[in-house]
Amino acid sequence: MTTVRWGIIGCGDVTEVKSGPGFQKARGSALVAVMRRDAARAEDYARRHGVPRWYTDAEALVRDPEVDAVYVATPPSTHCDYAVLAARAGKPVYVEKPMALDYAECRTMMDACATAGVPLFTAYYRRAMPRFARIKALLDAGAIGTVRVAAVSVYRGYAPPAGAPPWRIDPAISGGGLFVDLASHQLDLLDYFLGPIADVSGTAANQGGLYDAEDVVTASFAWDSGARGTGLWSFSASGDVDRTEIVGTRGRILYATFSDAPVILETDAGIESIELPFPAHVQQPLIQTIVDELLTGTPACPSTAESAARTTRIIDTLLAGFYAAG
């Protein structure tokens, strides 16, 4: 195989710019088929993006002999079913984040892919973006010494839409509220930067009463290295705060997760502002690592099923009390 030919299940908003063009622009990659249950929308997407074939049935796309690998870009509630479908057809799977509704579904997906002998990747694409790769390199090089603490803060308000509520705040579809959609990226980055979180505790609640899912989460983390961390996410608060601070014995790193504001490195040598803009298609760097791995057989993708499942398990732990009480 010299080119990985991709099929997309669920060609919705995330595939328009963030991911879809990345399959066409990555080296050794081609997008050959898309699927959406709405025929008009599937056909429209294929026409606009120059994709040769479109389907309204996921199994038909998966069985297409010219589709080598499958990208599942539907909401989390269907990730498990579609990943298992692709695995049983012998197709490598790349699934959107969060990986599934809960850790149990993650295990089902991993087991199905292991049984089929196909790899499973997850779209925690920030792991491959230059901005976050630079932070990882700084930490690994000891730029701030031994990491002692990490703190995540997110505050933003919520304006109810005029129409139906978005699926991202429907726990049956998303697995929770905006915390699951957004904080999963931040939790995954902490795993990437500092290693697996060894212990976590916290609380979740609904303060705003604007929808049924949680809208505030607090968390306390611990790593085997001895580092400790905290997290506070509020989606009914004033302002627009997106801040993570990692502090070591010789300095600290400050960064935003959802904007390309400069990364700040502060040490005894001074303060450095590092500007690394987001790529035009944010998933393309990660897609390239997956394509490289599939073509060479050599591990290259930093976002694995195992790392993604760890993030889902952390989310499960933090939300368990809220949904048990509900």
**What number is the average pLDDT over the span 62-78?**
98
| Percentage of residues in the chain having pLDDT higher than 90 | 97
Tell me the average pLDDT of the chain. 97
**What number is the average pLDDT over the span 110-139?**
98
Burial 137-168 (b: 16+ CB within 10 A, else e): ebbeeebbeebbebbbebbbebeeeeeeeeeb
pLDDT of residue 163 exceeding 90:
no
pLDDT of residue 76 exceeding 90:
yes
pLDDT of residue 216 exceeding 90:
yes
Q: What pLDDT is attached to residue 64?
A: 98
Packing angle of the helix pair 184-194, 305-325 (nearest 10 deg):
130
Q: What pLDDT is attached to residue 73?
A: 98
Q: What pLDDT is attached to residue 172?
A: 97
Q: What is the 3-state secondary structure (H, E, C) of 105-158?
A: HHHHHHHHHHHHCCCEEECCHHHHCHHHHHHHHHHHCCCCCCEEEEEEEEEECC
pLDDT of residue 164 exceeding 90:
no
Cα 192 to Cα 71, 117, 177, 187, 228, distances in angstroms: 22, 25, 23, 9, 15
Confidence tier at 3 by pLDDT (50, 70, 90): very high
| Total number of residues shown for the chain | 326
Residue 279: phi, psi to the nearest 5? -70, 160
Show the domains of the chain with their CATH numbers.
4-124+295-300 (3.40.50.720), 130-278 (3.30.360.10)
The answer to whether 299 touches 293, Cβ cutoff 8 Å, is: yes
pLDDT of residue 304 exceeding 90:
yes
Q: What pLDDT is attached to residue 160?
A: 87
Q: What pLDDT is attached to residue 299?
A: 97
pLDDT of residue 86 exceeding 80:
yes
The one-character DSSP state at 5 is E
The answer to whether 51 touches 33, Cβ cutoff 8 Å, is: yes
pLDDT of residue 326 exceeding 80:
no
| Percentage of residues in the chain having pLDDT higher than 70 | 100
Q: What pLDDT is attached to residue 1?
A: 82
